[in-house]
Every structure is written in C-alpha cells, then in structure tokens.
Amino acid sequence: MKILFTGSAGYLGRGVIIPFETSGHTLRLMDVRPFNTPHECVVGDVADLETVRTVVRGVDAVVIAHMAKNPDAYTTPTIAFDVNVKGVANLFFAAHEAGVKKVVLISSTSATTGYRGSHIEPHSLQPKANGMYAMTKAIQELIAEQYSREFGISVAALRVGYVTDADELTDKYGRKISERAALLTDRRDIGEVARLCLERNDIGYEVFNVMSTPESLEECDVEYTARRLNWRPRHDFSNLPLPRK
C-alpha cells in the first residue's frame, strides 16, 4: 500500500512510521514544517483543503497522526479546531473524494474523559469529553464514524494513552519517565497497531485502546485490542519499577 501519514515531523509521527518502514509499504509523509526523511515528503497545512486534496491523490490509505501543539493551542478554539478538527474533516472529505478506503485515526483516551474523568473507559463507549483538547479528539471520532458509516471507509480509531518511548524513557517534552504506569504508550506500538489495522479487511468502524504496559492489558481494555488484532505490545516498559503504594 501507499500510505499518507500526517504529523510526520512530530514526536508521535516519527515513531508511528517505524513499523511501516520494514513492511513493504510506500510512505508519503506530510507535516506543516520542513523535515528530513528518505521517504516522499510533503510540506503543507491540513487545514487547507486544496493542499489536502493534492496530498491524498494516489494513496491507498491514510494515517492521521497530526495534533495541535500542547498546551498553548488549547487556550482558545482557534488553533485547536483548525488543526485537530478542520484538518481531520478535510482529510476524510478528500479521502472519500479520491476513493481512499482505509484510514487510521490516532485519537486519545481523552475522548472519553466526560464519563468519569481520569478513568480509562472501555473502547466500546461513544466519545464524551471534558476540556478543549479532549473535545477536539471526540469530534475527530464523530467525523471518522460518519465517513465510515455513510461512505464505507474502513476506519480504526486508536485511543492512545501517554505517548512516550520505552528505549529513550522520555516523553515528547524531554521529561524523564521513571515509573511504570498503565497509560504509558510507546509510539512504535501505536504504529504497529495502525499497520495491523490497515492490513486487515474486516474493519468497518472500530475503536481500539492502545497502551503498552502489562497493567494496561488488564486495566485499560487493551486486551480487546490484543485479541482482535493478534497483537502484544513490544515495548512494555518492563524495565521500569511500579510506583510505590
């Protein structure tokens, strides 16, 4: 498959593509700022429909991994909605227009914070959010579900936890991770789940919780993802101690 990835210069995007690089797929990478890559590279804004129409032409699938910058973008709706909501709406519109039939949306466990706050909810619950960031992620899922239901696009929405790297043991802000927690999610594991979803032909619209630790399998409904996709996290942070009780 030829696959378009958005947000490719970001911390998440750089990790998500790794499992695809050795799987025989052709990658087209997009970001709003220039970046170095051996793959086909497009610099453009997902909030611009004509740019998005151009970049989806000729691809078989899309992985939506872009996100407005945290935390500054979420003080008002302007940037948050331009990037997270308008950008996703543009991508689904253009994908349908171009006949693209497979999309992975990198969503967030924040999409269900409206139920009980910090508790990780089952994948089967509909989005219900608290806060600006979570609102944009919930709306992304609503857009994705409608395009799947109305136009037959295969969509996997991945509700990911706290994105980091099990080798570097730092998050995207450079902060050190010293204890294992259920929410920790290696960015390469997200990419592997995305790859498995795109390579299946039995996904209509489906939500998957994606986290990497042994605790997440039991506590965060990640066991469903593992069974459904025949997957286990490869980067499980097992070298980190659990928090002291």
pLDDT band, very low/low/confident/very high, at 118 (cuts 50, 70, 90): low
pTM for the full model?
0.96
Note the pLDDT of residue 119.
72
How far apart CA 190 and CA 153 sit, in angstroms, is 20
Q: Indicate the length of the chain as a whole number.
A: 245
Sheet strand arrangement including 184-186: 170-171, 162-165, 184-186
Note the pLDDT of residue 173.
87
DSSP-derived letter for residue 59 is -
Residue 124 has pLDDT above 70, yes or no: yes
Mean pLDDT of 111-121: 83
Note the pLDDT of residue 117.
60
Give 83-115 pLDDT, tens digit per residue. 999 999 999 999 999 999 999 999 999 999 999
30, β-bridge pairs: 42
CATH code, residues 2-229: 3.40.50.720
The number of beta carbons lying within 10 Å of the beta carbon of residue 166 is 23
What 110-115 contacts at long range (C-beta under 8 Å, 24+ apart), as own/partner pairs, is 110/134, 110/137, 111/137, 111/138, 111/140, 111/141, 111/159, 112/138, 112/159, 114/138
DSSP-derived letter for residue 157 is E
What percentage of residues in the chain have a pLDDT greater than 70?
Answer: 99
